[in-house]
Structure 1
Amino acid sequence: MPLISFTDKGLYCEPGRFYIDPWQPVHKAVITHAHSDHARGGSQAYLCHRDTLPLLQLRLGPNNYQAVAWNEKILLNEVTVSLHPAGHIIGSSQIRVEYKGEVWVVSGDYKTEFDGISGQFEPIPCHTFISESTFGLPIYNWKPQEEIYRDIQNWIRNNEVANKTSVLIGYSLGKAQRLLKAVEEVTGNVYVHGAIWNVHETLLQAGWKLPAVQRITPETPKEAFKGSVVIAPPSADGSPWMRRFAPYSVGICSGWMQVRGNQRRRNADAGFALSDHSDWNGLLQTVKASGAQKVYITHGFQSVFSRYLNELGIDAKEVKTEFGMEDEETQFENDNNLKI
């Protein structure tokens, strides 16, 4: 019996009697991060990183939560569990599980480049590693964050000259917070969709220092948007809600924008390949750094990535899960029943 099994409810550690990011209600859920494909309601008890706690409370409401710091060891029925930075979004963690000398690591979603807000990813040595592969193709090779930020800033400046509102599309938990850091150097006139506002307020109350924003309401005058920056989730793109910003220019912020055809299909004016996931090289480097003898590949380009690992002599296998069902454009706001 492996230390962690792949079941119809999710990743299950039988000796510890807990699940990791289960997609059905269970008695004990250990959560990597607060995106809705990894953190679902209905379980009796949750264990997460302390920065994830307020986000789970926002999403799932009152519950039996236990929050820990990174590297803090917790004993669950003789199984030692610790959480380590994953670099994906605020509070995102890898789950290290140790029992009788055997170590498994469940990465959840991760990003190896430090973004200044999500925690610095650290590779964890283990015998078995469970990895995502959202962008597990060689074509996905990210520019440094600073360079992407400069591209966004220059685009905003050009829109200001053209008297257009700059509308940046990025999901409300993770991408929106990074975009605020990118735009604060060029403007303090930032408006946000209601879903982003609720996450923003939750983080402020938890002690995070984020740039000031204004919530968009039906009462916000159209004149206020001229020359401003608007940050909105994917669900708003192309909707009647956008009409109030005219004339405007739309920039989509997603790793999928690495492929130019995706920008055309989304009918966007600009695309910025700003991702909260590792690129091809980041995935490879992480797997190698783990030293794992066995690797399981979950959501994304599983077949390509696992086949390549096997060609390198690393024992890799595809595993079907319900992670990534909403892909990188996770519409986190829908799970909150938030109003515009």
Structure 2
Amino acid sequence: MAKKPLLEFTDRGIYCAQGKFYIDPWKPVDDAVITHAHADHAYFGHKRYLAHHLSKQVMLYRLGNINLETIEYGETVNKNGVAITLYPAGHVIGSAQIKIEYQGEIWVVSGDYKTEDDGVCTPFEPVRCHHFISECTFGMPVYQWKPQAQIFDEVNSWWRNNVNNGAATVIVGYSLGKAQRILQNLDLSIGKVYTHGVIENTNEALRRNGVILNPTNRITIDSVKEEVRKGIIIAPPSSVGTPWMRKFGPYSFGYCSGWMAIRGAKKRRAADRGFVMSDHADWDGLISAIDATGCENVYLTHGSTATFTRYLNEIGFNAREVHTLYGDDEGAPSQPPPGGEEYDEGYEDTNKKVSPAGGDLEGADII
């Protein structure tokens, strides 16, 4: 009889029967190990959660008073004889790859990841294993990212030109990951940074966790419009086209996403500028990350799974597609997700979301 694999794909999520736990389950379970705090990986309703320490305050903010244990990178816990160790994924602050080991068999669940060091989250670290479960959101050759420094030279130049031309600057990215990456790479000699309530709530949660971020100013009903217009506004995709954003006019609106690499994506977002910036690995990054694991088998969970699976098998990997409910936190341009914001970051079922005290102030007016 063939040996049962250590991990299996079920209708609740990735399951370890020996350890009696799930990884990033999308239905309520007793024991959940979470790769990162985005909404399609960290669901409400589990009895117990295990995640990286830097995900703690964001998960409590988003999910409420959950039973949450956190550990550091490189730290190992055991569940029913199965060793669980977290390693950096480089996706967002607190994101982790989950290494699962039992009787010499090693699996790694990557969650979402990027291989470029963004200077904000702990850089991706390849982990040797027999089986590697990988995303492939941008698993097509057209997706090749420019160096981050080049992108932010473009962002800062655009902001400076807007200031010189008397236009407000609004830059859009999801609230966990992209917003902090933008914030930490802006040239603050140009002006102040102002934030939408959704962005600032996440920043505050990260600061409570000990993360040091550049200064920001929350936009509230008391904010002075003309002062806000002199700086740069970081906003979530849900704010695009709303009365909240229109109050800053005239403004120039820039959208940060890997999908900006596709012709027409900027127009579909109604953006003045599209910056090709992703917190996921590009084509070369995916291949190099998978190769560095030395894995015997690779399982592709979401994104361009068919194309990427075929290519990996052609170059000598043993790859296959698997079905999960993990989403696209970049918001694929062909079909906007419910609510107008990327699924991974902004759209959450009302039965799952526990709103923190004070709410997100999405509709706060500007005087």
Q: What 5-or-longer segments of structure 1 have no aligned partner?
A: none
Residue 192 of structure 2: aligned partner: 189
Residue 93 of structure 1: aligned partner: 96
Residue 79 of structure 2: aligned partner: 76
- Length-normalised TM-score, structure 2: 0.90
Pick the aligned partner of 1:37 from 32, 37, 40.
40
Is 2:97–2:108's contact at 8 Å kept on the other side of the alignment?
Answer: yes
The answer on 1:110 being equivalent to 2:132 is no
Per mean C-alpha deviation after superposition, the further-off stretch among 198-207 and 302-311 is 198-207
Residue 205 of structure 2: aligned partner: 202
**Partners of 1:331 and 1:301 in 2: CA distance:** 17
The answer on 1:139 being equivalent to 2:152 is no
**Partners of 2:185 and 2:297 in 1: CA distance:** 38
Pick the aligned partner of 2:226 from 223, 226, 239.
223
User: Displacement, 1:214?
Assistant: 1.0
User: Displacement, 1:182?
Assistant: 2.0
- Length-normalised TM-score, structure 1: 0.97
Residue 273 of structure 2: aligned partner: 270
Amino acid at match of 1:332: E
Q: Please give the secondary structure, in 1, of the residue aligned with 2:54.
A: coil
Q: What 5-or-longer segments of structure 2 have no aligned partner?
A: 332-341, 349-354, 363-367
**Partners of 1:185 and 1:142 in 2: CA distance:** 25
Is 2:278–2:330's contact at 8 Å kept on the other side of the alignment?
Answer: no
1:30-79, CA deviations, whole angstroms, 9 ceiling, x for partnerless residues? 00000000000100000001111111111111121111111111111010
Is 1:97–1:105's contact at 8 Å kept on the other side of the alignment?
Answer: yes
Structure 1 segments, 4+ long, off by >6 Å, are none
Residue 293 of structure 2: aligned partner: 290
Amino acid at match of 2:215: A
How many equivalent pairs are there?
340
Pick the aligned partner of 2:132 from 129, 133, 136.
129
1:18-57 correspondence runs (5 A) = 18-57=21-60
**Partners of 2:188 and 2:218 in 1: CA distance:** 20
Is 1:172–1:331's contact at 8 Å kept on the other side of the alignment?
Answer: no
1:59-74 correspondence runs (5 A) = 59-74=62-77
User: Displacement, 1:187?
Assistant: 3.1
Residue 254 of structure 2: aligned partner: 251
Residue 240 of structure 1: aligned partner: 243
**Partners of 2:185 and 2:273 in 1: CA distance:** 16
Cα separation, partners in 2 of 1:290 and 1:143, compared to 1, 3 Å:
same
**Partners of 2:81 and 2:156 in 1: CA distance:** 51
**Partners of 1:299 and 1:331 in 2: CA distance:** 12
1:272-294, CA deviations, whole angstroms, 9 ceiling, x for partnerless residues? 01110000000000111111111
User: Displacement, 1:333?
Assistant: 4.7
Per mean C-alpha deviation after superposition, the further-off stretch among 310-319 and 178-187 is 178-187
Cα separation, partners in 2 of 1:331 and 1:310, compared to 1, 3 Å:
closer
Q: Please give the secondary structure, in 2, of the residue aligned with 1:160.
A: helix
Pick the aligned partner of 1:332 from 332, 345, 355.
345
